[in-house]
Amino acid sequence: MLNMSDIMETITMIQDENLDIRTITMGISLLDCCDSDIDKSCEKVYNKIYNYAKDLVKTGCDIEQKYGIPIINKRVSVTPIAILVAASGGDPVKYAHTLERVANDIGVNFIGGFSALVHKGFSPGDKALIDSIPRALAETDHVCASVNIGTTKTGINMDAVKTMGKIVRETAELTADRQCIGAAKLVVFCNAPEDNPFMAGAMHGPGEPDCVINVGVSGPGVVRAAIAKAPDDYDLTQIADIIKKTAFKITRMGQLVGSEASARLGVPFGIVDLSLAPTPAIGDSVAHILEEIGLDMCGCHGTTAALAMLNDAVKKGGVMASSNVGGLSGAFIPVTEDAGMIEAARCGTLILEKLEAMTAVCSVGLDMIAIPGETPAEVISAIIADEAAIGMVNSKTTAVRVIPAIGKSEGEELEFGGLLGNGPVMKVNMTSPAKMINRGGRIPAPMHSLKN
């Protein structure tokens, strides 16, 4: 029998604590769309995505109404486009326009997969795609790009790191009149997961099936509220238990919605990504969870430890709730998308170096951070290299999504609006790493990659 207090708990989570399903993402393989003629290839891409995903948004809305749970985003991820460019040649921006057109026609919020996997080296298709990223992101609104530049197994491709520093800058420059939004749609990964449903890093890896449904849950507000209800004398083991139980409930909902979406669309269910993804809305902040645990403000000493505990407890709770967990699964710390982080960055408690330390224990990396417009490409490359090194050595995913705020300096603000939020331009250490970055080459895979 249903229990009245359970029902009211769920209703409160949805109504007052911003519980939602962050995204249903349909992954679609485009490997069978390769053609030596780029226009034919684009046409096949359009048709395949349209046929598979035409009912995605409607299905999402129907499930939303059946269960009374908001599903914020409906998205599509595709095979890294660099693979298609390798076969077809031509200007990769044509693919970006095709993706944009189909995204508009099926009504999804974002389409990810304008991507290249170059962790060990470039193929001609990869090179062409990477060089076209700034234009592709400037000329489209819904397309997201990502580049994987390192893995634990292969080491870090420092030539790619060097290139990506320039590409990030160029992407921001081309969209300088629109708050440099282009750079907010570009992620540089180490150990990129192939089944991530979250943007901007979503792609449908070459090892994935033809079509699959992945679900990303959310719920920082629910976790914060659960901790807030705990007595002050609870120790950290008890707090970790509360987080685990809450994560379990949130993930069960993701599992339910994912199974239902997969059954309705006739597509296999892939994974639930049990990430705590914040939004700029009040009460939906990961920073506020850390503050509820007992920090005066996110970014102070103790933040890394609190985040490590949070990240681990979220995974432990979520793993049992879902038959297949994947993607990034952990706590996100995107600065401009998190009300508590924005506040902490504004008053200088949260600095870039602390964020870097935090990325060693949470699920992603330096995410949605506005940096001064005058930051040289080499410094951006070095930020990417540091992050990739953390990911490579710790066998975890790390990523960099920094937005050079062209024409703005430290303390000024960027305003993206919507889920991408807003935030202050943060201080960057400008001491030059240029000589190291310009050396290029590859950082060899670490000792513990030799597991065979």
Partner 1 sequence: MRAVITVIGKDMVGILAKVSTTCSEANANVIEVTQSVLQDFFAMVMLIDIEKMTCELPELHEKLENNVKEMTIHVMHEDIFNSMHRI
Question: Does 6 engage in binding with partner 1 (CB under 8 A)?
Answer: yes
Find out whether 386 and 393 touch, Cβ atoms under 8 Å.
no
User: Minimum Å distance from CB 319 to partner 1?
Assistant: 13
Q: What one-character-per-residue DSSP string does 386-419 give?
A: HHHHHHHHTTS-EEEEEEEETT--TT-EEE--GG
Q: Which two tokens stand for residue 425?
A: 């331009």
Q: How many residues bind partner 1 (CB under 8 A)?
A: 22
Q: Is 2 helix (H, G, I), strand (E, B) or coil?
A: coil
Q: Which one of 2, 207, 233, 435 is in contact with partner 1 (CB under 8 A)?
A: 2
User: Minimum Å distance from CB 58 to partner 1?
Assistant: 12
One character per residue 14-43, x = contact with partner 1 (rule: CB under 8 A):
xx----------------------------
Burial, 14: exposed, middle or buried (Cβ in 10 Å; 0-12, 13-18, 19+)?
middle
User: Minimum Å distance from CB 14 to partner 1?
Assistant: 8
> Torsion angle, CA of 193/196/201/203, rounded to 10 degrees?
80
User: Minimum Å distance from CB 4 to partner 1?
Assistant: 5
Question: Does 153 engage in binding with partner 1 (CB under 8 A)?
Answer: no
Question: Does 127 engage in binding with partner 1 (CB under 8 A)?
Answer: no
Give the nearer residue to partner 1 in terms of CB position, either 96 or 256.
256
Q: Which stretch binds partner 1 (CB under 8 A): 63-71, 364-372, 394-402, 431-439?
A: 63-71
Q: Is 427 helix (H, G, I), strand (E, B) or coil?
A: coil
Distance of CA 246 to the CA centre of its chain: 22
User: Minimum Å distance from CB 17 to partner 1?
Assistant: 13
What's the CA gap between 319 and 325, in Å, rounded? 6
Angle 236-265/56-67 helices, nearest 10 degrees? 130
Q: Which stretch binds partner 1 (CB under 8 A): 27-35, 61-69, 266-274, 379-387?
A: 61-69
Find out whether 231 and 203 touch, Cβ atoms under 8 Å.
no
Q: Which one of 50, 68, 407, 441 is in contact with partner 1 (CB under 8 A)?
A: 68
Question: Does 3 engage in binding with partner 1 (CB under 8 A)?
Answer: yes
Give the nearer residue to partner 1 in terms of CB position, either 4 or 447.
4
One character per residue 251-290, x = contact with partner 1 (rule: CB under 8 A):
-xx-xx----------------------------------
Q: Which one of 30, 69, 147, 344 is in contact with partner 1 (CB under 8 A)?
A: 69
Give the nearer residue to partner 1 in terms of CB position, either 14 or 300.
14
Q: What one-character-per-residue DSSP string does 9-55 give?
A: HHHHHHHHS---EEEEEEEE--GGG--SSHHHHHHHHHHHHHHHHTT
Question: Does 249 engage in binding with partner 1 (CB under 8 A)?
Answer: yes
What's the CA gap between 125 and 82, in Å, rounded? 5
Binding site for partner 1 (CB under 8 A): 2-4, 6-11, 14-15, 62, 65-69, 249, 252-253, 255-256
